[in-house]
Amino acid sequence: MIDIDELDEKFSVEGEVGFAELENDLVFITVSNKYADADICLYGAHITSFRPRNSIDLLWMSSDSFFEVGKPIRGGIPVCFPWFGPHKTDAEKPQHGFARLMYWEVLETATRPNGETVVRLQLCSSEETLAYWPHEFCAEMTITIGLTLTATLKVTNTSAEAFDYTCALHTYYTLSAIENLSIEGLQGTTYYNQLNGEYNIQEEEILQINEPTTRHYLNTESTVIISDPIFRRRIRVEKSGSKVTTVWNPGEETCAKIGDLPDDAWETFVCVEATNAFEYPIQLAAGESFETSAIIGLED
């Protein structure tokens, strides 16, 4: 059992950082500072909300998400690790790895001199993780809440042998409607279309989504802009330590088959993800670390 009183005593910051059971019995860190409000679930190190001042939430959450131990949270920023998508050799292992299905330990909460809030969470190898993946590691999520939200996944190889992994910060963004969406920053980039198995180059300056879409843009670190004129906002999505940008929307038919999505959910979100997968896994020698970051915020 997680002791909220103990967490409050160690890590709360008066008027800024607290702990609460926001959904079922899952424990969340709540952050409120001069820049924004945010909610982070300790289960999965999962950011479920980022609300800059005078703005609606940048992140989209499913109203049908289970919020139940043993099942992933649907929406926000799931942490996909140590594999992205299905396991390569064992279909019984969980989609997108086990990191989003385990409680992470709180390492630190802090206030920076400029008023930003920093939260650090950790998941290290254990008997439970070794049953899924035979490598010793420590993963750390550092989340900085300010004018922008920065989410950084740092993985350290704590074993005596090299290993490789794939990962993603699988961010869901709130839209007024999918037909109002345009995505900038991917022109001229080669992408793998997972739905037909083909490779293409995006020739258009603007990506608009009018059909089911699962595209993995390869060898790109470009900034992407998610434009929604009805919400009168442009979300700037930057990243580092990621060679793949994934764009996903399930479309109507697939959405209706996903148990933790309302049938019409596809109309109000898009995923733009900082990914390392396919031709770009991360290889770590013993003792090495690697960081993957997503930085999101509103353009002025």
252 given a catalytic annotation: no
CA distances from 159 to 122, 125, 136, 219 (A): 17, 10, 5, 29
Catalytic residue among 96, 135, 170, 216: 170
CA distances from 297 to 50, 76, 103, 150 (A): 9, 14, 27, 9
Q: Is 211 helix (H, G, I), strand (E, B) or coil?
A: coil
Rg (alpha carbons) of the chain, rounded to whole number? 18
Q: Is 97 left (phi over 0), alpha (psi -120 to 50) or beta?
A: left
140 given a catalytic annotation: no
Q: Count CB neighbours of 212 within 10 A.
A: 15
H or E stretch including 153? strand 149-157
Pairing status of strand 213-218 against strand 190-193: antiparallel
Catalytic residue among 23, 116, 140, 273: 273
Q: Is 156 helix (H, G, I), strand (E, B) or coil?
A: strand
The residues annotated as belonging to the active site are: 170, 273
